[in-house]
Structure 1
Amino acid sequence: MVDEDKVIERKILLKRAFQKPQLFEIGRNLAIPYFELFENPWVIDEDQAAYEIASIIGDSQLKEIFETHKPKSWVVFRGEHYTFEDGLLSLKGSWNTLRSSLQELRKRHGDKVDKILKVILETSGGCNPLEIAEKLKGQVDPAPLLADMERMKLIVPFYEGDGYKEWTVLEEVSPLLRLELGLAKPEKAAKPSEVTKVVGEEEVDYVAMERQEIERMDNELNTYLTELLKKRLNATIKFGKKFSISVLADYLIKLFGPVLYFDSLLSITQQYGLADVEIIHEKGGTGMRTG
């Protein structure tokens, strides 16, 4: 009998650890019919793709996939059945360790821990100390506890930069913390709709699929910009005032060296040059556009 909880956890892990082209290659190697519907790996649905793979493999195949295909080394996953950290996959879950960490923090800080975690769990996206303090109406100063919670791996950074930081709870850790805090269980992740189209019987509408992908990316960008305007506008403006082509060049030189950096610099500046935006200077608009 298939353990659906493990399948869903494998799906989340695969989606987080691998990019679309890698999922595409893995699916093709496993001869999964879904992947035969596409020629372009970038148009596959990540949720569907990861689920298709997760639903037919076991632990040994999962381990083989992580050994054969290079996952994102910076990714962290702390599930009930699997752990991925520091670039290494373990078939042992993290929940027992996290449960012990929560108990230890409760002994040290009392119910403040539960109050802070509840706020983070009920907040979509990241949460900063000021937001937490505001929602708790000044009952708790969260700043000293957040570092402890991160060190004990109950929360992870959501955004960090220029003295500003937000935290969140990993998707696979959320059910455990909700259970421990007596909160309502989150709705189970919906199983991706099954693909009924058979290759060769009907032509795939790549234009429609590309349009859907563009809409998804637009929504993702709009969500990011909304969060930025709400929480990081001043920091972003400050960064923009300091940023210049020389700063970008110095950054790329550190990454790629004094010879190879120029290819990346040229590519980035060309992309900015193609954007249809107004050209301005310190006294205002010029009436010209870049695009």
Structure 2
Amino acid sequence: MSREVEMKIFLERGYSKTSLIELCRHLGLTIPSSLSQLSSMSKEELSSEIVSSTTLEESVEIFRSFPLNPNRSFMGRFITVKKGMLSLKNSHRKLSVSLGKLREKHPKILRPVLKAIFDSGGIIDTESIREEFPKKRKTLSLVEEMIREGILEHRYCGEHLTVYEIPEERMGLVAEYLGIKKAEPAKSKTTERMEDPAKSSLEEERYLIAEKHRELDDFISRLEERIDQIIAFGTKLDLTTLEKYLAKLLGDGLHFDGLLTMAQQLGLSETPIVGEQGESGLKTGFNLALFGDPGTGKSFSTRDLLLGSKHLRIPPHGVPAINRYMGGMTAARFIRIGKAYEGTVFNFIIPEFNDWFRYKGMVEPLKLAMEGGTIKYEIHREVIGPYKLSSYFTVNYNTVVGEKGYSTTVRDPNFSAIEDRMVCRLHRMTKERYLEIAKNQMRLLRGEGIAPKEADKIKSLIAAIYAIQKGRDFGKREKVKKIVLGREEEEVFKTAREAIIDAIPDKRLRFSARIEKNALILASSFSLLNYFKFDDLIPLDPRALSLAIRFYVEEASIREGEIFNHHDVLRELNITE
């Protein structure tokens, strides 16, 4: 590996994109001045600019003035980083000594293990080790020794899977030890990044997706061992019981938001919705948005409930592995890696969603992403797509909230098209909500209201419904089911629609018919809680219908700037809150 290639790898691994931009400016390099162009430039491009414009010796002091991640090490032939300290030392000499010691201790397995890792592009996981090496305990022990000696590093550590890698700057050393003439394997990660930066991002995301699918498969396989208990629990649980559980966990002021979050998880099964006359073309599955004043429990009711919070001691309630947290990711990067998710069902959890719209042009591709349209997008030096997404979004964002209505901080006038494609709920910081949140935080910190066993039962039930609807056979001859919308339920929606229209004084409406469709999908998703109580067709649950109509009326009022009182309309419809 040449000095220049190692320097480029060091820059990509050692610095954030923001630091690389500052490095370019410090070195007097010409880079775009506009934020939109900078946002679309990759770390690979920025690193290449630096490497082509300076030498390692000329710029080492400048590099040292920019902080490095203290948890990242770099052990190259020309560059060494240990505990955040950069030096121009040759770490390969020390690593060669370590390989010699390991060869003496493990003369029979060191070479085949290293060869297997090298041939797989420098990456191996615990599952592959178990499959390829009969003496798996001894092999795993050797791998851990190579971690301690600096030959390998942990790339990913999960509950059921650990991934190890030979960092790129150490691949040449391993190649020499194995007697491979070419210093790097064909199409190494560095080579591919130089040829196509977007390809590297896609491949990393595909690897993550594969890990998540293995994690989900493992969880579902373990469900099979207790499917009888899960079915028994599912025949007893109803919406009212779930409401009481969430009120105890989240507090009375936030439990409805928690219900929306759990309904979305149930809806990920994409269960068909049929009318009495046959197929409707609709299915469960919706995008969820909680927006409004900051500090009103939006993330608490979504991210923390789905993924769990160690700080608040809340166990995870979401379907394992398919809720992908996107904190820190830009919209441009999401659009770039989105192709990796084509044909899969994930739920993307996005905090501070309004940050994705700081730059123009993001509304259209994200609108297409939310409705399963074909995405094709041109950014700096590359064309992305075409591809389609079949995944969903759970997003939070702050808005300016008045006594009536709200205004977004997103400048793009077309942002309403995004809101139109989500189940949206406004959060207003009232005195009552503040007191409820503060009281509930203290209660959770004391460990009150937390029931890990109940949380696991709920999570397992939702995951089992998801698995069966996606074709998993648990040996109980459970078949794929459908939600049926009867004429009585159609009449309820019609009555609600007319009551809303009558309450609006203006002729022009600020919302589309999508909010009624979203309410229907919401009612259907809630009704999936009765999955194991019916053999084939699942009717809309009366409580689910009531909650969905409540959402429908509230959402219409908010979209209209609260020019009508939704409480009055709900009373007219005999809907209790």
Relative to the length of structure 1, the TM-score reads: 0.70
Match of 2:211 in 1: 227
Match of 2:28 in 1: 31
How many residues are aligned here? 252
Structure 1 segment 203-242 matched on structure 2, within 5 A: 220-230=204-214, 233-234=217-218
Deviation at 1:230, TM superposition (A): 3.8
Write the deviation string for residues 131-185 of structure 1: whole angstroms up to 9, x where unpaired: 1242245598412211111111111112112253221111110111011112352
* Counterpart among 81, 86, 90 of residue 89 in structure 1: 86
The yes-or-no answer on 1:182 pairing with 2:179 is: yes
Counterpart contact for 2:81–2:87, Cα < 8 Å? yes
Match of 2:156 in 1: 159
Q: Which moved more, 1:176-185 or 1:107-116?
A: 176-185
Match of 2:311 in 1: 251
Distance 1:283 1:6, change over 3 A: farther
Inter-partner Cα distance in structure 1 for 2:60 and 2:422: 46
Inter-partner Cα distance in structure 2 for 1:155 and 1:220: 18
Counterpart contact for 2:67–2:84, Cα < 8 Å? no
The yes-or-no answer on 1:71 pairing with 2:68 is: yes
RMSD of aligned Cα (Å): 4.0
Inter-partner Cα distance in structure 2 for 1:146 and 1:220: 22
Match of 1:121 in 2: 118
Distance 1:97 1:21, change over 3 A: same
Deviation at 1:29, TM superposition (A): 2.2
Match of 2:129 in 1: 132
Deviation at 1:63, TM superposition (A): 2.8
Distance 1:19 1:125, change over 3 A: same
The yes-or-no answer on 1:80 pairing with 2:77 is: yes
Match of 1:257 in 2: none
The yes-or-no answer on 1:17 pairing with 2:10 is: no
**What percent identity do the matched residue pairs reach?**
21
Q: Which moved more, 1:86-95 or 1:160-169?
A: 160-169
Deviation at 1:88, TM superposition (A): 1.0
Give the residue type in structure 1 aligned to 2:66: H
Give the residue type in structure 2 aligned to 1:63: V
Write the deviation string for residues 189-237 of structure 1: whole angstroms up to 9, x where unpaired: 54958xxxxxxxxxxxxxxxxxx97x97666434421233246743699
SS, match of residue 272 in structure 1: strand
SS, match of residue 158 in structure 1: strand
Distance 1:182 1:142, change over 3 A: same
* Counterpart among 45, 50, 53 of residue 48 in structure 1: 45
Deviation at 1:269, TM superposition (A): 8.6
Match of 1:5 in 2: 2
Match of 1:170 in 2: 167
Inter-partner Cα distance in structure 2 for 1:269 and 1:250: 21
Deviation at 1:118, TM superposition (A): 1.0
Write the deviation string for residues 38-86 of structure 1: whole angstroms up to 9, x where unpaired: 5443211322210221233333444323332222222221111111121
Distance 1:170 1:232, change over 3 A: farther
